[in-house]
Amino acid sequence: MSSEQWWRNAVVYQIYPRSFADGNGDGMGDVPGMTARLPYLASLGVDAVWVSPWYPSPMNDGGYDVADYRGIDPMFGTFVDAIEFIAAAHKLGIRVLIDLVPNHCSSEHPWFQAALADPDAPERDLFWFRPGRGTNGDQPPTNWASMFGGPAWTRTTNPDGSPGDWYLHMFDVTQPDWNWDNPVVVDEFDDILRFWFDRGIDGFRIDVADSMAKDRSLPDATVAPGATEPHPRAPDAIWNQPGLEAIQRRWRKVADEYVDTPQGPRVFVAEAYLDPVDILVPYVSPGRLHTTFNFNALESAWLAESQRLVINTTYTAHRGVGAPTTWVLGNHDNVRVATRFGKAETGVDFASGREAEEPILLANRLRVLPTDSALGLRRARAAAMLELALPGGAYIYQGEELGLDEVEDLPEELLQDPTWERSGHKIRGRDGCRVPLPWSGDEPPFGFGPSGVPWLPQPERWAGSTAEKQVSDPNSTWTMYREALRLRKELPAFRGDFAWHESDGGDVLAFSRDDEVACVVNFGAEPVSLPDGEVLLTSTPLVDGLLPSDATAWIATW
């Protein structure tokens, strides 16, 4: 593999291991299943995969509760399976990013267990243990709320049975936050990075990349007027603290130790829902991280004005620090794009300045709106061609290439997202976008594994959406993605300059790459004419040479 800066325009496919492919027939996706399906990803044409956590975990938050950062959960296979997966991917020219979860671990992590077992243990300072407030210490140390509902602190019991200190968990009660002020934590993560880089990993996706550094004075958060508790994002002490910069620079140095290896640069992509983008781009300034997810793109409504604004602001801001932009339509935390775009409300209207909303809350609110699934799919296809024509990297969440929609009616007793319990069954959570993929056949389990019942039930309606059917259908969403990825790779214009096209305006969003390829998206109700040139690809067939509503076309204008 070359050492060019591959990450600047890589198309990265997200694998959520539990739901991608089941190799052993237990109904859970696993690493051998992933390895077996690598040729599928190679024929789709992706440059890299990002694998959501595969580490040993009690799976209280789908593996984002890590008990051992250097292993593989037996549910997913063995360590040897993982090494074989990395090698098999590399053989096919696919790079491998894995998830780093540095804000918190699992309460089953041995260091947290040691901290719990003895209030005087040195491990205690690796986490945030604090006495409670109030006369008996029975009030949490701060008023902070957890991202999954309920308080962000849980009280411990001392070994002698008496009530003890409280510990901080910004997510589930089984996800204690690490104390990044303690050098043992800092060194441990340096070591974890090197451990996986030495085993051939090409990069890390950094989970909750804006929360590791904390203000030690732990001030209370402001409670919004009319609310009973602060929003989980309210504590300034937690989010986007200045101390993050030192951590990022340190990690960059570790990654840069590998720049001159035959495999080439190792990279980071930060998960940080920070808005506006100006507070995010310092993360990717020189000497810090390589890329961040563009969540404004993911959250933007299907409106020309909103998309145009997001493209302008994110592209300009990233260029200002010399970093590539990324484009994202979905992931394992958000409503699938084919469903979101089929609703009356399609996301955040940035052009109107509407406030962003936490993804989990947005999902819950959108769920009650009916979905026009044909419209949603049509727009999702148009959106995919839009994001793949833009400069920078792009992410595909598994199943987007099949046009899969959200499963909004999973039976309550099967819901696994911790939000469901912690919100007192008010917020269903994110399981609807995590349903196992349909590979083949006409009925569930659609070839997900050799046998077994998938851990979440697949809808019958996916019979027409299996990979098997779509790979051989020239009009399928899969084939559109494959063609888009092929053109993107073959035509140098897709690595060239970005400029708004003269036909851009109103409901028509249009830009060109290197004056050679134009991308035109019609957000309006009426068909529109296209610039002169050869039509390379469309998301929906043209009608009398015109681009219909909710469609994208790529035109060679050279």
Q: Which residues are catalytic?
A: 207, 257
Residues 293-332 that bind ligand GLC (CB under 6 A): 332
- Polymer length of the chain: 558
Among 549, 520, 550, smallest CA distance to 533 is for 520
The CA distance from 179 to 213, in Å, is 8
Binding-site member from 22, 30, 47, 61 for ligand GLC (CB under 6 A): 61
401 lines the binding site for ligand GLC (CB under 6 A): no
Cβ closer to ligand GLC: 64 or 197? Answer: 64
Residues 413-442 that bind ligand GLC (CB under 6 A): none
Q: HSE on the CB side for 402, CA within 13 Å?
A: 25
The three-state DSSP-derived secondary structure of 346-368 is: CCECHHHCCCCCCHHHHHHHHHC
Residues 230-289 that bind ligand GLC (CB under 6 A): 271
User: Side chain identity at 32, as an amino acid letter?
Assistant: P
Cβ at position 61, least distance to ligand GLC in Å: 5
Binding-site member from 54, 64, 76, 258 for ligand GLC (CB under 6 A): 64
Peptide bond into 457 cis (omega under 30): no
Provide the 8-state DSSP code for 420: H
Cβ closer to ligand GLC: 416 or 557? Answer: 416
Cβ at position 332, least distance to ligand GLC in Å: 6
Hunting for tokens 């998830």 — which residue is that? Answer: 99
171 lines the binding site for ligand GLC (CB under 6 A): yes
Cβ closer to ligand GLC: 332 or 513? Answer: 332
Binding-site member from 81, 202, 299, 333 for ligand GLC (CB under 6 A): 333
Among 410, 542, 384, smallest CA distance to 478 is for 384
446 lines the binding site for ligand GLC (CB under 6 A): no
Provide the 8-state DSSP code for 139: B
Q: By rule CB under 6 A, what string of x and - marks binding of each residue 74-103 to ligand GLC?
A: ---------------------------x--
Cβ at position 101, least distance to ligand GLC in Å: 6
Is the Cβ–Cβ distance between 299 and 268 less than 8 Å? no
Cβ closer to ligand GLC: 456 or 551? Answer: 456
Strands (E), 21-125: 48-51, 95-100
Cβ at position 208, least distance to ligand GLC in Å: 5
Q: State the distance between the two ends of the chain, measured CA to CA, in whole angstroms.
A: 31
Cβ closer to ligand GLC: 57 or 466? Answer: 57
Residues 340-379 that bind ligand GLC (CB under 6 A): none
Cβ at position 417, least distance to ligand GLC in Å: 8
Segment (H or E) for 376: helix 373-389
Cβ at position 364, least distance to ligand GLC in Å: 15
The CA distance from 279 to 374, in Å, is 37
Q: What is the DSSP string of 183-248?
A: HHHHHHHHHHHHHHHTTT--EEEETTTT-SS--TT-PPPPPPTT-SS--TT--TTTSS-TTHHHHH
Provide the 8-state DSSP code for 83: H
Cβ closer to ligand GLC: 422 or 501? Answer: 422
Cβ at position 453, least distance to ligand GLC in Å: 24
Residue facing ligand GLC at closest CB distance: 64
User: Environment class of residue 461 by beta-carbon count within 10 Å: exposed (0-12), middle (13-18) or buried (19+)?
Assistant: exposed
Give me the phi and psi of 200, to 5 degrees please.
Answer: 100, 5
Cβ at position 258, least distance to ligand GLC in Å: 25
Residues 188-217 that bind ligand GLC (CB under 6 A): 207-208
Cβ closer to ligand GLC: 61 or 550? Answer: 61
H-helix segments, 402-545: 418-422, 467-471, 477-490
Cβ at position 409, least distance to ligand GLC in Å: 21
For the record, the structure tokens of 189 come out as 């993560």
Cβ closer to ligand GLC: 396 or 509? Answer: 396
Residues 15-54 that bind ligand GLC (CB under 6 A): none
11 Cβ partners below 8 Å, 6+ apart? Answer: 45, 46, 47, 48, 388, 393, 394, 395, 396, 485, 488
Number of residues that bind ligand GLC (CB under 6 A): 9
Cβ closer to ligand GLC: 6 or 111? Answer: 111
Among 43, 90, 47, smallest CA distance to 482 is for 43
| Residues forming the site for ligand GLC (CB under 6 A) | 61, 64, 101, 171, 207-208, 271, 332-333
